Chains A and B, each alone.
Chain A
Amino acid sequence: MNSRNLKAIKTALYASLFVVAAPMFGQIPRTADGKPDLSGIWQALNTANINLQDHLAQKGAPAGQSVVEGNEIPYQPWALAKKKDNYVNRAALDPENKCYLPGVPRITYIGLPFQIFQRPDLVTMLYEHAHANRFIYTNGAQHPKGPIDWWMGDSRGHWDGDTLVVDNVHFNDQTWFDHAGNFHSEDLHVVERYSLLDADHINYAVTIEDPKVFTRPWNINMVLYRHVEKNFQLLEYECYTFDLEQYYP
């Protein structure tokens, strides 16, 4: 190989390195304090709210690929039986159909947009679904002493490099992870990791832990997409268990 060819190969290698590496260096928006800037309106574009695991289409419910790593949710035997029962009776039992706050992480992929506001001491997440909201303190504040049974749990955040890590505890046992009956106890512990892939995509990774229900922790992984439409904004999805037009025409 002559030196000219070698130089061409080197140039091509450097160029390819730049193309691959570019999104990792300086391509994500950052706040004044150098943290990745998650501000904006985001939405999951998948069918995880119907079923976290692989599922075929049913009427009104499109098919979808699993967002669970390995596609297995490691239930204890009694819990697997309960999950199956939940699935059979999901139309009546899904807490979403009762308009209850959906908990974490379901609020993220329930199918509606949400907006993130960020500053060094606090990340605020506002959701179109039922005016749900979360305050994620990133000022070193610790979880309050429990037990507390909140629908949305208690969220505390910190930055691990370029990833916002949110630790969530103090849940009740009333919410499900999806419409397929995947459930948890009040001992649920959720760790979310928000990592910008580029300016308009967040990698959303979640670890679920609940020793009363599962044999080991398990993971969810999906991508959140930024809304870039001009003047896009959150509207309202007030959930009603009654006929609104009958009550308030």
Chain B
Amino acid sequence: MRFNSKLLVTALLCAGMIGSAIAAESAKNDKGAWPQHTPDGQPQVEGYWVTVVYGMGCLQNPRAGVGCLEEGEEPGRANRPKPPKAASRVVDTPDGEIPYQPWARTKQQYLLSNYFEPTRPEFLDPQQLCLPLGPVRQLTWHDVHILQYPGYVIFEHEGGHVFRLIPLDGRPHVGSDLKLWMGDSRGHWEGNTLVVEVTNNNSKGRLSRAGDFASDKLHVVERFEFLDANRMKYSAKFDDPSTYTRPWTFGFDMKRAIFAENNPTKDDAHYEQWEEACYEGLTPVDYSLRSDRDHK
């Protein structure tokens, strides 16, 4: 028997395409498999997520206090128990430190040394004024509700009711002069990893409570690698040649927030994120300044 090779190849290609289509459809319809997919083909990752290690006092040991100070070292918090050591969130430098240029390291230390008794407005961490923390640090504060609509991923942060919109349609970034607190995000899916490029950062928000910062020339590439239904590995590559000696990566693990642990109804399905108004009712910021009394 002789085969028509062209016909065979065509038949195999068709069979392959049909097979792939059936497999894709089957994956979408298989309720038991992870991940399921949204109608527009995104891996279904909706829900409430939170960092595994909570805290933002410093990047090198997120469980520690401001500037990695420990028991008795932090003004006003003398009796805080010593926190266990946690991994640095600077994940790709040998010492777990941000590779600041010398002038930038000096500025970071200066901001940190003025954290507890700020005498000038710029010493106030914008977080203390309930301003947005920036796209990366905002993920380390309270929970984030990830929502998926066709063509979009939405991050609704509990802290200070800040949201971030991530279009997936490949549209261009907004003009480079538009610097935004939460930056300008563009995303796409690589398998189960959401990759987000964040430009247009105004970088007025800091990276921790320890004076860590970037400039408004910052370019970030984030990778949200969803490992299974309840675990996610997060990394953000910080590229800012005006501030750092080389690019570095801000990384941490996240987990699905399980509220039923402390909920008598044991019912996570009906959890709702409620309003956390932060700015409203805040003591006028001038009174936060140590020098304010002296000026009057």
Contact = CB atoms under 8 A, between A and B. Distances in A.
Answer yes or no: do A and B interact: yes
Contacts of B178: 235
B181 interface: yes
B106 interface: no
Interface residues of B, number: 38
A32 interface: yes
B149 A131 contact: no
B207 interface: no
Contacts of A141: 270, 272
Nearest to A148: B274
A5 interface: no
Contact of B272 (A137, A247, A249): A137
A45 interface: no
A39 B154 CA distance: 14
Interface stretch (B80-88, B120-128, B248-256, B257-265): B120-128
Contacts of A239: 279
Contact of A242 (B39, B121, B149, B165): B121
Contacts, number: 86
B275 interface: yes
A133 B167 contact: no
Interface in A15-39: 32, 39
A150 B284 CA distance: 21
Given A126-B154, A131-B132, A235-B174, A247 B279 contact: no
A236 B180 contact: yes
Given A137-B272, A152-B275, A233-B167, A247 B121 contact: yes
A197 interface: no
Nearest to B169: A231
A101 interface: yes
B111 to A, nearest CB: 12
Interface stretch (B27-35, B48-56, B156-164, B219-227): B156-164
B191 to A, nearest CB: 24
B179 to A, nearest CB: 10
Given A235-B178, A236-B180, A119 B285 contact: no
A247 B124 contact: yes
A125 B163 CA distance: 11
Contacts of A151: 275, 277, 280
Interface in A206-249: 231, 233-236, 238-239, 241-242, 246-249
Interface in B147-185: 147, 149, 152, 154, 156, 160-163, 165, 167, 171-172, 174, 178, 180-182
A219 B178 CA distance: 39
A115 interface: yes
A163 interface: no
Contact of B163 (A122, A131, A249): A131
Given A135-B272, A151-B277, A242-B121, 5 more contacts: A100-B279, A101-B275, A150-B274, A151-B275, A235-B180
28 contacts: A39-B149, A100-B281, A101-B161, A101-B279, A101-B280, A117-B149, A117-B152, A122-B147, A130-B279, A131-B161, A133-B156, A135-B272, A137-B272, A141-B272, A150-B274, A151-B275, A231-B171, A234-B165, A235-B178, A236-B180, A238-B181, A241-B284, A242-B286, A246-B121, A248-B121, A248-B126, A248-B204, A249-B122
Interface of A: 32, 39, 99-101, 115, 117-119, 122, 124, 126, 130-133, 135, 137, 141, 150-152, 174, 231, 233-236, 238-239, 241-242, 246-249
